[in-house]
């Protein structure tokens, strides 16, 4: 349950802090006051994608935090926390998320940093948010399958099916690649073997071009190099007054002085160290100078070798490889692996074909089992939603979930091509007249259907439902999936029940779109009922829904110091009376509006 929400510098919000209770909490306010901004801030905390545009103008950072309590029996949430070594205190956790103007963001659950995906996964166990445009998902048939699978507790099974389907498609693609390669295998093998032989013959070594380039520069400027080294040697140790002789004399004199004044001991030791270091340096210097040789013909050999390596790099190398020869050697290793694969193509093809056959059998069995479970669940879901719609002002409505096999006309050439390994996003099971198509998520299309009037057949939801009907259908679906309808415990796996029950808070942003009158009264009554089971937040413009609230909050936009800010406050009894009057007639002080507000509050406020 959401106990506290704190927002700083988010959109029009400067600083906002609010505490919440159980039951149905209604947020009201003038259009544009910022009700949806508050829902947006909560959505940000639930893990929604966001960028720096959410930061209030003139601020460096936007942040949203919340205190969330967890019921003792909420195993899904407690298991998630335990798996990440996060400990709740008194069954409460603090969740924080912030974003800075430089794009950097931070997310913490308690004091543990987490990713946005982790945040989204965790908060989805506690909250279900229905935004202003969420009903649009009802118009997308791909969402219908997800709703049905969630209701039936089939999400994990469907995900496993999808993984196997993807594996099968990948193996078919790999087999197709082998078959294509076999057609050009001989030519490819000849090319690869020539490349390996050429690289082997060159005896390429990692980093050798770098050493050769150094040697090339030394040989090309041998006379200058030898002259510089001889001049340096004369100055350092071969000349009559060489540097090494001067250091030796200084060391001898300082030793004599230190014998007289012991305070010179440290200085004398440093001079001795300098002398020994100079002797070592002179020894290495002599070794290098005496080893210099002018080798006629060697420069030509080095340059020929560099030219060969350059040609090989151009043919087989990689611009990213450092040293450059590593790219050549990597190409050789890849070529050898491909040679082995092509040489064993027959064996690999047979192995892949056998794996594909097993996967095809498994995918067919899984598709059949998944389809059977979906068809059974579709009847229950249709009954549940129809029952809820009856209480939401649609007494003649009939909601159904169509689960229809994916089929297409027989295509012998297409089936033969797929048998040859052509990759496809769908798999087919052949039949006489048509084939059953297995897609990434099963062998059936799921579609929501509705009839709003007695005697009319059910039809595509998107073609016949009005905005108000869509809002009520979505409200029904959300409450069924959240486990708040009266029969929620009678269907679905235990895992799906736990997942539904874990969502302790439901958020509805303007669920009243397109409704009014008696329908609004029915929606208000229904929200009040589920508010006895869950914590409900609802943004509304309808007084007939607002009067049902256990807690009423008003969102206002205020201007101070030339800046506009959104605020939120709990309404007192008198303030609530005026707010209901405003919602009824646009006049918070009118006698008639206040009288009507008093009537509604007396009738529906318990």
* pLDDT tens, residue by residue, 103-131: 899 999 999 999 999 999 999 888 888 76
- Alpha-carbon distance of 48 to 116, in angstroms, equals 8
Tell me: the pLDDT tens digits for 1-53?
999 999 999 998 999 999 999 899 999 988 888 888 898 999 999 998 889 99
Q: What is the 3 state secondary structure string of 84-129? A: CCCCCECCEEEEEEEEECCCCEEEEECCEECCHHHHHHHHHCCEEE
Q: Let me know if residue 297 belongs to a domain.
A: no
pLDDT for position 360 = 93
Same domain for 368 and 479? yes
Q: Let me know if residue 562 belongs to a domain.
A: yes
pLDDT for position 167 = 94
Domain holding 451, by residue range, is: 136-177+349-501
pLDDT for position 137 = 65
Q: Let me know if residue 187 belongs to a domain.
A: no
Same domain for 83 and 8? yes
Q: Let me know if residue 325 belongs to a domain.
A: no
Tell me: the pLDDT tens digits for 459-485?
887 776 666 677 788 888 877 876 655
- Alpha-carbon distance of 37 to 14, in angstroms, equals 12
The enclosing domain of 511 has a CATH number of 3.40.50.300
Same domain for 459 and 587? no
Three-state secondary-structure class, residue 392: coil
Instruction: Give CA separation, 397 vs 232, 469, 524, in Å.
Output: 103, 10, 19
Same domain for 466 and 495? yes
Residue 55: pLDDT over 90: yes
The pLDDT confidence band at residue 419, using thresholds 50, 70 and 90, is very low
Of 501, 523, 546, the position where a domain reaches its end is 501
Same domain for 72 and 118? yes
Residue 415: pLDDT over 70: no
pLDDT for position 416 = 40
Same domain for 451 and 510? no
- Alpha-carbon distance of 341 to 346, in angstroms, equals 9
Residue 313: pLDDT over 80: yes
pLDDT for position 606 = 61
pLDDT for position 233 = 81
Instruction: Give CA separation, 344 vs 172, 338, 358, 461, in Å.
Output: 18, 10, 21, 55
Of 501, 536, 557, the position where a domain reaches its end is 501
pLDDT for position 466 = 65
Q: Let me know if residue 322 belongs to a domain.
A: no
Same domain for 373 and 464? yes
Q: Let me know if residue 374 belongs to a domain.
A: yes
Three-state secondary-structure class, residue 297: coil
Q: What is the 3 state secondary structure string of 194-242? A: HHHHHHHHHCCCCCHHHHHHHHHHHHHCHHHHHHHHHHHHHHHHHCCCC
More confidently predicted of 55 and 232: 55
Same domain for 36 and 84? yes
Q: What is the 3 state secondary structure string of 493-514? A: CHHHHHHHHHCCEEEEECCCCC
Q: Let me know if residue 339 belongs to a domain.
A: no
Average pLDDT over residues 273-288: 87
β-strand pairing of 505-509 with 13-19:
unpaired
The enclosing domain of 378 has a CATH number of 1.20.1050.90
Same domain for 23 and 121? yes
Same domain for 441 and 537? no
What lies within 8 Å, CB to CB, of 407 at 6+ separation is: 434, 435, 436, 437
More confidently predicted of 287 and 62: 62
Supply 284's token pair: 């290495």
Average pLDDT over residues 129-152: 78
Q: What burial class does residue 111 get, using C-beta atoms within 10 Å of its C-beta: 0-12 exposed, 13-18 middle, 19+ buried?
A: exposed
> For residue 336, which of 436, 196, 523 has the smallest C-alpha distance?
196
Average pLDDT, the chain: 83
- Alpha-carbon distance of 135 to 143, in angstroms, equals 11
Strand partners, 62: 99
What would the DSSP string read from start to end of 173-192? HHHHHHHHHHHTHHHHHHHH
The pLDDT confidence band at residue 66, using thresholds 50, 70 and 90, is very high
Same domain for 417 and 467? yes
pLDDT for position 456 = 84
How many domains does one find in the chain? Answer: 3
Same domain for 470 and 523? no
The answer to whether 506 and 476 have CB atoms below 8 angstroms apart is no
pLDDT for position 297 = 83
Of 60-69, 297-306, 324-333, which has the strongest mean pLDDT? 60-69
Average pLDDT over residues 197-224: 87
Average pLDDT over residues 162-175: 91
Ranking 219-223, 283-287, 305-309, 548-552 by mean pLDDT, the lowest is 219-223
Global pTM value: 0.59
Of 501, 527, 548, the position where a domain reaches its end is 501
pLDDT for position 431 = 44
Q: Let me know if residue 302 belongs to a domain.
A: no
């Amino acid at each position: 349950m959401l106990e506290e929400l704190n927002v700083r510098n988010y959109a029009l919000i400067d600083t906002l802090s609010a505490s919440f209770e159980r039951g149905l909490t209604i947020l009201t306010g003038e259009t544009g006051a910022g009700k949806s901004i508050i829902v947006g801030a909560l959505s940000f905390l639930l893990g929604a994608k966001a960028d720096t545009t959410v930061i209030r103008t003139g601020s460096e950072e936007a942040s949203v935090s919340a205190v969330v309590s967890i019921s003792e029996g909420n195993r899904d949430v407690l298991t998630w926390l335990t798996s990440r070594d996060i400990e709740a205190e008194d069954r409460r956790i603090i969740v924080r998320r912030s974003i800075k103007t430089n794009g950097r963001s931070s997310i913490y659950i308690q004091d543990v940093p987490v990713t946005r995906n982790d945040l989204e996964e965790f908060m989805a166990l506690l909250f279900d948010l229905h935004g202003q445009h969420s009903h649009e998902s009802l118009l997308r048939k791909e969402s219908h399958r997800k709703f049905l699978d969630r209701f039936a507790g089939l999400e994990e099974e469907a995900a496993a099916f999808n993984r196997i389907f993807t594996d099968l498609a990948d193996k078919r693609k790999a087999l197709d690649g082998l078959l294509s390669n076999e057609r050009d295998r001989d030519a490819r093998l000849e090319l690869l073997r020539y490349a390996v032989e050429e690289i082997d013959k060159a005896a390429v070594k990692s980093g050798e071009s770098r050493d050769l380039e150094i040697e090339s520069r030394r040989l090309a400027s041998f006379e200058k190099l030898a002259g510089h080294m001889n001049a340096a040697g004369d100055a350092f140790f071969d000349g009559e007054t060489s540097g090494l002789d001067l250091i030796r004399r200084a060391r001898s004199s300082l030793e004599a002085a230190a014998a007289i004044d012991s305070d010179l001991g440290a200085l004398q030791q440093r001079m001795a160290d300098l002398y020994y270091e100079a002797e070592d340096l002179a020894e290495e210097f002599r070794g290098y100078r005496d080893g210099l040789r002018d080798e006629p013909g060697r420069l030509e050999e080095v340059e020929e070798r560099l030219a060969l390596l350059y040609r090989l790099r151009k043919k087989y190398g990689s611009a990213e490889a450092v040293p450059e020869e590593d790219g050549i050697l990597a190409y050789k290793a890849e070529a050898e692996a491909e040679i082995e694969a092509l040489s064993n193509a027959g064996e690999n093809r047979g192995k892949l074909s056998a794996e594909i056959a097993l996967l095809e059998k498994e995918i067919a069995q899984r598709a059949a089992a998944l389809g059977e479970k979906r068809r059974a669940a579709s009847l229950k879901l249709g009954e549940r939603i129809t029952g809820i719609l009856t209480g939401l002002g649609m007494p003649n409505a009939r909601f159904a979930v169509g689960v229809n096999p994916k089929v297409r006309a027989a295509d012998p050439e297409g089936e033969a091509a797929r048998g040859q390994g052509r990759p496809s996003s769908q798999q087919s099971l052949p039949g006489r007249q048509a084939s059953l198509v297995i897609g990434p998520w099963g062998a059936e299309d799921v579609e929501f259907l509705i009839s709003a009037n007695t005697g009319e057949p059910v039809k595509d939801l998107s073609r016949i439902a009005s905005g108000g009907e869509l809002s009520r259908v979505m409200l029904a679906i959300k409450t069924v999936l959240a486990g708040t309808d009266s029969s929620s415990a009678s269907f679905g796996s235990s895992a799906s029940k736990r997942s539904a029950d874990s969502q302790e808070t439901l958020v509805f942003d303007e669920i009243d779109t397109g409704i009014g009158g008696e329908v609004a009264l029915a929606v208000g009554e229904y929200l009040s009922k589920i508010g006895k089971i869950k914590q409900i937040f609802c943004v509304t413009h309808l007084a007939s829904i607002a009067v049902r609230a256990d807690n009423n909050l008003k969102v206002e936009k205020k201007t101070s110091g030339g800046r506009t800010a959104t605020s939120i406050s709990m309404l007192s009894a008198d303030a609530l009376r005026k707010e209901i009057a405003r919602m009824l007639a646009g006049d918070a002080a009118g006698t008639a509006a206040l009288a009507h507000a008093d009537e509604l509050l007396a009738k529906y406020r318990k």
